[in-house]
Amino acid sequence: MTTYPDPTAGSCPVHDHTPPRPPGGLTPIYGEAFSADPHATYRWLRTQAPITPVEIAPGLPAYLAVTYRAALYLLRNNPTRFAKDTNHWEALQKGQVPADSPVLAMMQPRDNALWKDGAEHARLRRAITFSLARVDTSALADTVARIADQLIDAFAGTGHADLIAQYADPLSVLVVINQFGSPPALGQRIVHDFSSLFDAGADAARANVSLEAACLELTQLKRRQPGKDIPSSLIASGLTDAEVIATIMLLVGAAGPPCGAHIGNGLRRVLTDERFAGSVHDGVRPLRDALDEVLWDNPPLANYSPLFAIGSQSFEGIYLQPGIPILVSFAAANGDPLLAVDPAARAGNRGHLAFGAGAHACPAPDIARIISETALERALDRLPGLDLAVPERDLRNRPGTFQAGLLSLPVHFQPDNRFAPPRR
């Protein structure tokens, strides 16, 4: 059996087939250098092993699955060989994860389906699928279009905008919050806190506390005044307050910031790829092809789905030490050169892992697709002459371990005089 470095070790033991560590220790999957070109890091890691040690935050080791085969093996062997329950995280149990660590808010135990196994997971997932099944997808598309138009109205008269900060990010979370029947002010708090949480920056710990308080307020409101919305359905399914709060956070987190990143990456693809730049306007190529390509090439949730080895586990001769989180790199797995899918044939192909696989696969990928596709349609319909305002090489990715998206997408377009700002 090939032995790889123990990620918790202070020094690198010598083994005949051990891949070398980069200078300074474990390969970080955070920070500016990583975010500038994460796929370069994934390519390097794939040369080392299909599941290899990394650092997910300063001083916090983990494994990362970087091939398609390894990702599927992990996801399909939960819960028999690998557990989701973060109580298996040895560093967390020993108090070695700093309270202000940017990864803690994304990986701490919560009372929702994402972090449960077996019967508990099945019970909580049933409540989610029951709630999501009640979403009217036709009405959802209308809601996305209405919110998109409201956001576009605010800048349509200027002839320029940042389509991340002014459109993709707020639209995705506002649409999800709309399905929760939240009062506007409370919804805005949730939107703001989730953005901070997913960026996994210095503000993540504060955002987590504020977000939990906002979700508790929404849960208590729905217990007093139930409606035809997702939190009311979760309550009707018998979930406790703690479970409703954690499930709201899960649903907003799964469909909010990642969907915003998908919209932003989709807009970038349409604006910069000559295969789509003109053809989506004349109907030759549908927008969904561009969005599916993005899910292959740059999935919005790049690295996540932490798992923990149950007892002694290995994959293709690689020993996986219990107590250390194993993250799945959906971005690296989709880009695995051993995949039989030709990159040119990925439009319309949904064999990617952007929505996960196995017991914890996304329960409603079609809802995410409706949001993203409608958002792109409205932007392209409402903003004639839409084009980048900066060279593509100047676009920057968000920093952080988990989410893959743009920091900004500056564009210019033909102003709509109906929405021109008043002259002073």
Kind and range of the H or E run holding 305: strand 303-309
Please state, in angstroms and rounded to a whole number, the distance separating the CA atoms of residues 397 and 171. 19
Q: What pLDDT does 334 receive?
A: 94
Q: Rounded CA gap, 66 and 51, in Å? A: 6
Task: Spell out the residues 6+ positions from residue 263 whose beta carbon is closer than 8 angstroms to its own.
Answer: 167, 168, 171, 172, 371, 372, 375, 376
Q: Are 362 and 113 in contact (CB under 8 A)?
A: no
- Do the Cβ atoms of 39 and 76 come closer than 8 Å? no
On the CB side of 284, how many CA atoms lie within 13 Å of its CA? 7
| Long-range CB contact pairs, 418-421, < 8 A, 24+ | 418/156, 418/157, 419/153, 419/154, 419/155, 419/156, 419/157, 420/157, 420/158, 421/157, 421/158
pLDDT grade for 3, boundaries at 50, 70 and 90: very low
CB 171 within 8 A of CB 264: no
CA distance 406 to 400: 12
| pLDDT of 71 strictly over 90 | yes
Is the model's pLDDT at 19 over the cut of 80?
no
- Is residue 174 a contact partner of residue 373, using CB atoms and an 8 Å limit? no
Residues 270-312: tens digit of each pLDDT: 999 887 766 555 555 678 888 999 999 999 999 999 999 999 9
What domains can be seen in the chain, in order of their start residue? 27-419 (1.10.630.10)
Region of poorest pLDDT, from 104-113, 158-167, 268-277: 268-277
Other C-beta atoms within 10 Å of 340: how many? 7
The mean per-residue pLDDT over the stretch 105-127 comes to: 93
**What pLDDT is stored for residue 327 in this prediction?**
98
Mean pLDDT of the chain: 87
The phi and psi torsions of 14 (rounded to 5 degrees) equal -100, 125
Q: Which two tokens stand for residue 219?
A: 């849960």
Residues 6+ apart with CB under 8 A from 113: 121, 124, 125, 127, 128, 247, 250, 360
Residue labelled with tokens 């005089």: 417
CA dihedral (209, 148, 250, 200) in degrees, to 10, reads -50
| % of the chain residues with pLDDT over 90 | 65
SS3 label, residue 128? helix
CA distance 211 to 251: 13
Q: Is the pTM of this model over 0.85?
A: yes
**Identity of residue 119:** A
pLDDT at 21: 45
Q: What is the mean pLDDT of residues 310-336?
A: 96
Which residue reads 């459109």 in tokens? 167
pLDDT for the residue numbered 200: 57
User: pLDDT class for 345, splitting at 50, 70, 90?
Assistant: confident
